[in-house]
Amino acid sequence: MRSLCIGEEIAVDWEIAAFWRAQEQAFGLQVGYMSGDYNHNGKPMADRLGQVNCGLVGARSDPLPRPAPSRYPPPMTNLVYVLNGPNLNLLGTREPEIYGTTTLDDIAGMLEDRARELGLEIEMRQTNHEGMLVDWLHEAQAEGARAVLLNAAAYTHTSIALLDAIKAIRTPVIEVHLSDPKTRESFRHLSYVGMAAALTVEGHGADSYRIALEAVAAGTV
């Protein structure tokens, strides 16, 4: 019989905690957790952070396999997510005097060609829904994307959810705009996306996307 106390690992890495929860299910074990976790009787599993009660343990005769001690599980790929927010599906006809006549499909084609030259791959998406952008930012990290180019359009100036999402992931995000919002109406001067983005590229029309992609290839972010 062998007792397990895994609090130290959980204290430093919640991904390892998830691993151990899976072990618990697979092997029918019950293991100790951190402060804030309770056993089936409502008794705290730990008195405070870093002090784990190891009384409630499972038993098995051989050691459990240990996960690699990494906090960065998804392998880095050459994938670059290009996420586009509301109304950008209308590029080409939408206020052409500001945004030009290039369509989003044109931009996608141009980026795919340039990405190929740079040894990168593009995942181009557009949505008119804020939460979808949040989901895609999470997905970019889960897929091991090298970076995200994000033109959040009007959500740039309103969305604390996007700010939080960018801060929540480790994947670098480059803020992209066709126009230069800082030279436009005052309500466009505030950028929540820019507060967390690794870099901002704006004011170069469709070329803003290409410049941002090249920054990824150059390792600037």
For ligand DQA, which is the closer residue by CB, 60 or 94? 94
Using the rule CB under 6 A, give the single segment among 29-37, 129-137, 152-160, 165-173 that binds ligand DQA: 152-160
Residue 151 in the binding site for ligand DQA (CB under 6 A): yes
- Is 177 annotated in the active site? yes
Does 177 interact with ligand DQA (rule: CB under 6 A)?
yes
Q: By CB under 6 A, which span of 43-51, 56-64, 148-156, 159-167 interacts with ligand DQA? A: 148-156
30 binds ligand DQA (CB under 6 A): no
- Interaction pattern, residues 77-106, with ligand DQA; x per rule: CB under 6 A: ----------x-------------------
Q: Encode the chain in three state secondary structure.
A: CCCCCCHHHHHHCHHHHHHHHHHHHHHCCCCCCCCCCECCCCCECEEECCEECCCCCCCCCCCCCCCCCCCCCCCCCCEEEEEECCCHHHCCCCCHHHHCCCCHHHHHHHHHHHHHHHCCEEEEEECCCHHHHHHHHHHHHHCCCCEEEEECHHHHHCCHHHHHHHHHCCCCEEEEECCCHHHCCHHHCCCHHHHHCCEEEECCCCHHHHHHHHHHHCCCC
| Candidate segments 22-30, 73-81, 106-114, 173-181, binder of ligand DQA by CB under 6 A | 173-181
Residues assigned a catalytic role: 99, 177
Binding site for ligand DQA (CB under 6 A): 87, 151, 153-154, 156, 177-179, 181, 188
